Structure 1
Amino acid sequence: MPEPVDRRYGPATLPCPRGPVSAALVEALRQPPHDLPVGLGAEFDPDGGEPDPLTDEDLQLTLFLCYELHYRGWAGVADDWEWQPVLLALRARAERVFEAALRRLVGPPQAVLPGGVPQALAALVAAADGPPLAAAVQRRATLEQFREFVVHRSIYHLREADAHSWGLPRLGGPAKAALVEIQMDEYGNGRLDRMHAELFRRTMGGLGLDTDYAAYLDRVPAVTLATNNLISLFGLHRRLRGALLGHLAAFEMTSSLPNRRYGNGLRRLGLDEEVARFYDEHVEADAVHEQIAAYDLCGGLARAEPALASDLLFGAAAALAVDGLFAGHLLDAWDRGEASLRAAQPVPLTAAASAAAPATVVAVA
């Protein structure tokens, strides 16, 4: 008998379709590689107006299905699908619509001299006025809402840093060295128990959530998929390597304070230090990464390839804007007294976590 697969690390089970294109793709992936229906994906019309590509469930799931073939793959799906020309053609069609929507969202790229990239990144971050998700989670989120937040983020954090690592073979010199330094921390300097993905898995376990890889894929909406597809788009295209590094810089430059808030939010809800460790780890690490990302990583790439300076800012702006859409989705749902996950059903606690859940919640300023 074959050894059972450890579902903590993938591959994930194929998700439920969310429209005609993802339905056709899921059905195709269950079979050996073959031609897809002619014109599949033509529904993703960039000029159609509705739905918005950034919140189009069918488009975002289609992209995620295609991209995941480059990560852990799908359970029961032939590895040969990864480079199947007809699938790549479908992915390219969806990517054109997605990228066009991103560029409309953030506006034309900012012109900047290579030496001014770190300062321009800092100005972008300072000007970002997205919804205050971290403050809301710290001060007033219920335990169930915090668990929802973690479910959303699990799609990224259980493979944390992987998409940005695609930048490594595309760089040389100071920028490469800076990316290696950041990624080594993300991967726990080679220690499994310190890898950020593993720390997040322990947070999920402490909240009574399923810790298998992509276990909640069917529950997260398109805007959550878009935050993940954005990094995959940048990571899988060499022409977008500048945007990939700008995205990482925005991540690092906006991470330390929000993660402090998330950790404090868990403590307000009565959870212990082990559950909060993932967030506490990022407070210190990302304060260091912020400078490396702005000056050594992005500044280094801009000095080596001046033509990519605007792409660096585009990637950062896209990261901030899409994360703002994500934050707005959660806060809007919670303000309406609704769940932020698909189907508006509560995520069930495990028996152990239900017994350990605190009976009272004390608010903090």
Structure 2
Amino acid sequence: MTTAAPTDYAASRPSTVTAPRLPAACGPLSDAVIEVLSTGRTDALPTVSADTDPLGRDLQLALYTLYELHYRGFDGVDPELEWEPDVLRMRRDLERVFLGHLRSAVEPGDDPVAEMDALSVEATSGTGPSWFFKDEGSWDQMREYFAHRSLYHLKEGDPHAFVIPRLQGQAKASFVAVEFDEFGGGRGERVHQQLWADLMSAAELDPTYLGYIDRVSAETLSTVNLMSMFGLHRSLRGAAIGHFAAIEITSSPGSARLVAGLRRMGAPEECVHFYAEHVEADAVHEQVMRHDVVGDLVRREPGLASDVVFGMRTLDYLDELAAEKMLAAWRRGESSLLP
């Protein structure tokens, strides 16, 4: 009997490298993190001072880079660093500064139902990007908006998925049902991350994961860091659910305004389609999140009510900062992206 030679899988398989490159550092914290990930040496990690700017780009980029070890990692970076104690210790120090700022900046509350009722009231006017693009704003500015939003939409659904094992009962079942839609209902081409990549390509932008990390503001980075922090900590599971609920409650009206703006601009259909998809889907998701997820979670664990509200209010706080940074640049006739 002739024994077949073993298959050289490394030679026979197509390339499966999907990890992005490391970003460019912008200060001592991010420089130290990137150096550690590049070399594997953890002895040079600095101490994070309590007076470090919590919303500065250096801290936010350092934190974002460390969080990415729990997602797709980076090309050429040892995946074992995800659980390296010194790396985790640095991440925790950065989180303490960030979370401490949020706790002091956001008004506390303990009534998720009242909070969701307030979010559900559809405004007749506003100052955010969806209002700006509905009636004014140029196609070039919309493309910049896409670049900022790509940091979230190319991982849409992923940060909140970390909370699934921390739920039970109806809250878990209903939350998974909403996430199932985010992940395309079982169809790869319908995954919202893929729909966003299609949007980016149609807008002649870079559709690759983290393609614009070196060009977005600290405020944009902070909006994604927030959901990663909530998702990765069991102690913040209530905030993760509140954050996700607030997204679903407010998404449909905002998406409708963006659809109107995109049609006004004559944008490619792939761009219109992404937001049109969210107008319908998120209107349904709102009811599921309100009653079956938040409602069931708070009934089971009433002590999480204040964290649920915290998650909702921090979403609004950081989204407003990011939006104002973009809009202020556009009002000055400047680009909102870094050079």
Query: Fold match, TM over 0.5?
Result: yes
How far does the alpha carbon of each residue in 1:247-267 deviate from its partner, in whole angstroms, 9 at most, with x for none? 001000110011111122222
Aligned match for 2:37, one of 21, 29, 52: 29
What CA distance in whole angstroms lies between the structure 2 residues aligned with 1:266 and 1:24? 41
1:11 partnered with 2:19: yes
| Structure 1 equivalent of residue 214 of structure 2 | 218
**1:91 and 2:97 equivalent?**
no
The within-5 A match list for 1:178-193 is 178-193=174-189
Give the whole-Å Cα distance in 2 for the aligned partners of 1:41 and 1:161: 32
Structure 2 residue aligned with 1:118: 113
The SS at the match of 2:259 is helix
Closer/same/farther in 2, CA of residues 78 and 316 from structure 1, 3 Å limit: same
Q: Within 1, Cα distance between the matches of 2:162 and 2:179? A: 11
1:190-339 equivalent positions in 2, closer than 5 A: 190-339=186-335
Q: CA deviation at 1:285?
A: 0.2
AA matched with 2:21: T
Cα distance in 1 for partners of 2:47, 2:245 equals 32
Deviation sequence 1:157-176 (CA, Å, 0-9, x none): 01110011111111110110
| Unmatched 5+ stretches in structure 1 | 344-365
Q: CA–CA distance in 2 between the matches of 1:231 and 1:314?
A: 12
- Residue 6 of structure 1, CA deviation: 5.6
Q: Deviations over 1:2-45 (max 9, x none)?
A: 666467xx31100000101111111111123x33326x1424x2
Measured after TM superposition, the shift of residue 130 of structure 1 is 7.3
State the distance in 2 between where 1:249 and 1:61 align.
Answer: 26
Give the superposition deviation at 1:125.
5.8
Measured after TM superposition, the shift of residue 124 of structure 1 is 5.0
Query: 1:104 Cα deviation (Å)?
Result: 1.7
Aligned to 1:106: 106
Counterpart of 1:35 in structure 2: which amino acid? T
Query: Identity rate of aligned residues, in percent?
Result: 45
- d(CA) in 2 for partners of 1:220, 1:254: 23
- Relative to structure 1, the CA distance from residue 155 to residue 64 in structure 2 (aligned partners, 3 Å threshold; closer, same or farther) is same
Cα distance between partner residues in 1 of 2:73 and 2:169: 32
**TM-score for the superposition, normalised by structure 2:** 0.92
1:42 paired residue number: 48
CA distance in 1, matches of 2:14, 2:21: 14
Aligned to 1:64: 64
Measured in 2, the distance between the counterparts of 1:41 and 1:122 equals 43
SS state at 1:30 partner? helix
Q: Secondary structure at the match of 1:217?
A: coil
Q: Which amino acid aligns with 1:111?
A: D
Distance 1:150 1:173 in 2: 37
Q: After superposition, give the CA deviation of every residue in 1:112-168 in whole Å (9 maximum; x if it has no partner).
A: 3xxxx3333222565999732201012211111000000000011011100111111
Distance between the aligned counterparts of 2:47 and 2:91, measured in 1?
9
Q: 1:186 Cα deviation (Å)? A: 0.4
* Contact 2:245–2:290 (8 Å) recurs in 1: yes
- Aligned-residue RMSD, C-alpha: 1.9
Aligned to 1:69, the other structure's residue is in SS state: helix
The corresponding residue for 1:150 is: 146
Q: Counterparts of 1:223 and 1:231 in 2: how far apart (Å)?
A: 13
2:172 matched to which residue of 1?
176
| Aligned counterpart, 1:361 | none
| One-letter amino acid matched to 2:146 | V
Question: What one-letter code is carried by the residue in structure 1 that aligns with 2:34?
Answer: V
CA contact (8 A) 2:36 2:44 kept: no
Compared CA separation, residues 4 and 338, structure 1 to 2 (3 A): farther
Instruction: Quickly say closer, same or farther: Cα 1:127–1:316, change in 2 above 3 A.
Output: farther
Distance 2:110 2:212 in 1: 40
Letter in 1 for 2:328: D
